[in-house]
Amino acid sequence: MAYAKAASRLKGSLIHQLLVIALSLASYQNVVALHVPHEPTQTSSTSEQASPPKSGIFEPIEISPAVIPHYPSPEKSLPPMYPSLPKAYDPVLTGRCPVNFSVISSITEKTASDCTRSLSTVVGNVICCPQFNSLLHIFQGFYSNRSDTLVLQSAVADDCFRDIISILASKGANSSISGLCSVKSSNLTGGSCPVKDIGTFEKIVNTSKLLESCSTVDSLKECCRPVCQPAISEAALQISGIKMTLGDKNIIGVPSEIDTLNDCKGVVYSWIARKLQFEDASSTFRLLSSCKVNKVCPLEFQQPLEVIKACRNLAAPSPSCCISLNAYIAGIQKQMLITNRQAIICAAAFGFMLQKAGVMTNIYELCDVDLKDFSLQGYGQEGGCLLRSYPADLVYDNITGFSFTCDLNDNIAAPWPSSSTITSLSLCAPEMSLPALPTSETLANYSCPRGGLDLLVPILLFFVSILF
């Protein structure tokens, strides 16, 4: 899409261009249950795919300090996020994958819960697919511990991949998860990457630097000032051989080289996975996925012809404009759950679409459009649920069914895009100073349905354009 373009260039040695925008947010936590049965009767279609995000950045947005909430005591710990769902049946395995799957059962349990068949299509982009990819990286690294290679041979990869899907489906996951997340068994083989054995990898790559960069990832800094991501990209470039064979040639945009680099990144992930504990590797991979996922808006916007017609050249509140806008947004709400960062990007993206069509008035303000209006609406709630920007998981219990930890579940106004601040403000800079924030007096207006105010750690809102 035209509003999400970013270019990265690589000449000779590795050069990383980072385009950074950040917004410091404090978060209000609430739990919203969706009214869905635990035992669904229909498997989700693979036609609704959560495609991996592409590099990109939006035009700047202008957000009033009045929309930034502030709450005390952000240090309060988070609730448990990893429930174990009961098995639906015993999986039928091929018997040709030489792996003891019970060793990684904690990761498969999380993945099955995050990709439950009843909700996988609405959480695929931000929960299911990141966790499924994390499982595959961990499995690949676990498999490599029994050999001298970081990948699987094609035939073994097919069998193991089939077994993984069967195990997840037996625990209640969507059996079409591979189609939903656009993942194939070939992802376990290293593809066109020329280096696949451990010995050669460790001779070429500065493994000490790689492990130091990725063994402990700072959740508050990695997406804005990445340490692990460039280390992975550098290692992938080194084992790909592209830097040495192409010299000063610009490789960005050359499909074969990009595929090779992506395949080599999979090999790097496998090496990291074999060096870390399962839970540590899962946390690292999920956080890296969040950095990518939160850079773009995953929603699809159809041409808003009725909104444009009703809201163009508008100078005062118009019932017909707001009716058209609300009807359009009601359709968007049915697509999926999104994060708070994605909601800001989606609001800006839709605003740019309207501005390009001649709607220059801030109709978000005129029609009281909030950020949560761009996400799926929670059952029994007055508004939508915005997922937290950090990695999140589905929670299941016998009373509430599946539920989510929601951020910003209050009336935060959707920002109307502006181009007046990008050149004068670097929101990732540590020396930046934000305008005065609202006081905590407004807390008295919030209700706490679970019997107390659960607070999340303040979230840095940012999105970064990186090389891959």
Mean pLDDT of the 224-248 span: 83
Query: pLDDT per residue over 434-452, tens digit each?
Result: 343 333 333 233 222 333 2
- Can you give the pTM of this predicted structure? 0.71
The secondary structure of residue 25, as a DSSP letter, is: E
Mean pLDDT of the 370-389 span: 79
Distance CA 290, CA 162 (A): 26
Give the dihedral sign, CA 199/201/205/210: negative
> Other C-beta atoms within 10 Å of 75: how many?
8
Residue bearing the bigger pLDDT, 210 or 7:
210
Instruction: Give the residue among 457, 394, 463, 389 at the shortest CA–CA distance from 428.
Output: 463
Query: pLDDT per residue over 287-334, tens digit each?
Result: 999 999 998 999 999 999 999 999 998 777 789 999 999 999 999 988
pLDDT classification of 461: cutoffs 50, 70, 90: very low
Distance CA 134, CA 273 (A): 9
Query: pLDDT per residue over 2-21, tens digit each?
Result: 333 333 333 333 333 333 33
Written as six digits, the tokens of 27 are 């978060």
Instruction: Give the residue among 6, 7, 461 at the shortest CA–CA distance from 223.
Output: 461
Residue bearing the bigger pLDDT, 180 or 11:
180
Q: Where are the alpha helices (DSSP H) in 313-431?
A: 319-332, 340-356, 363-366
Q: Where are the alpha helices (DSSP H) in 52-197?
A: 105-114, 120-123, 129-144, 154-170, 177-180
Instruction: Give the residue among 225, 226, 155, 150 at the shortest CA–CA distance from 195.
Output: 150
Query: Does residue 256 have a pLDDT over 60?
Result: yes
Give me the chain's average pLDDT, please: 74
pLDDT > 90 in the chain, percent: 50
Query: pLDDT per residue over 54-102, tens digit each?
Result: 433 333 333 333 333 333 333 333 333 333 444 578 999 999 999 999 9
